[in-house]
Structure 1
Amino acid sequence: MSTSQVTKDHEQKWSPPPPGWVKINTDASFCATSGRASVRIVVRDDNGLVLLSAWRLLRGCVSVEEAEGEACLEGVRLMAEWIRQPARVESDCAALMGALKSEAPNRSS
């Protein structure tokens, strides 16, 4: 299988939030040996226009879930400070999103 076939199979298209809303897309990378991580945030409106973007380096993370959680928290903080619209948060970390949606989230990490 070629690289282009693999990319096409895993390619996901960004979907807009409802009209009048914005979407906070977050992601993180994590190195278990050093505990360092980086987080990235992009906020777009319902037309796909980038309203805000940011990145940050973290030290002392214990897991990728912690790094992903910090990315979401940073995105919400920045959104609350700079943009006054209802928002949705999107992350590729299934464990984090499941915990946030749960009525009794696992808060251990």
Structure 2
Amino acid sequence: MRGWKKILIMDRNSQWSPPPDGWLKCNFDSGFQQGRSFTNTCWLIRDSNWKVLLTGCAKLCSAMSPLHAEALGFLHVLQIVWAHGMRQVWFEGDNKELISIINSCEDHS
């Protein structure tokens, strides 16, 4: 993920805490229901002073599993964040499998 200073993916099953100064935190979540023709994802981005900078929801293509839905949502939110020029961002979600997969990836920059 060239151009990113750092990406941190956190498990959001704890109380929300602000990111360090100079960082943003993006909370995201996606919904999954077997047999639906679409997946919904929503996000909220705040700074270290708890100020809400950006929120949104999107209707995405259908997913095959909860992991697939969360991955689609994460990729969509990643594009939104990038398009808004945000680079030092912590992403926080609730799908432990996705968090584990992303955090185990090597940096190839």
Q: Give the TM bin, normalised by the shorter chain.
A: 0.7 to 0.9
- What residue ranges of structure 1 are gaps of 5+ in the alignment? 1-10, 105-109
Match for residue 75 of structure 1?
77
Match for residue 97 of structure 1?
99
Q: Quick one: distance in 2 between partners of 1:63 and 1:31?
A: 8
Of residues 82-91 and 45-54 in structure 1, the stretch that sits farther from structure 2 once superposed is 82-91
Q: Which has the larger radius of gyration?
A: 1
2:27 aligned with 1:44: no
Structure 1-normalised TM-score? Answer: 0.76
- What residue ranges of structure 2 are gaps of 5+ in the alignment? 1-12
Question: More helix by proportion, 1 or 2?
Answer: 1
Greater RCO (CA < 8 Å, at least 6 residues apart):
2
1:33 Cα offset (Å): 2.4
Q: Contact 1:36/1:57 (CA < 8 Å) preserved in 2? A: yes
Question: More strand by proportion, 1 or 2?
Answer: 2
Deviations 1:31-84 (A, max 9, x none): 112243210011110111110111011232111111111221122211111143
Of residues 42-51 and 68-77 in structure 1, the stretch that sits farther from structure 2 once superposed is 68-77
Q: Which of 52, 55, 58 pairs up with 2:57?
A: 55
| Aligned-residue CA RMSD (Å) | 1.8
Structure 2-normalised TM-score? Answer: 0.76
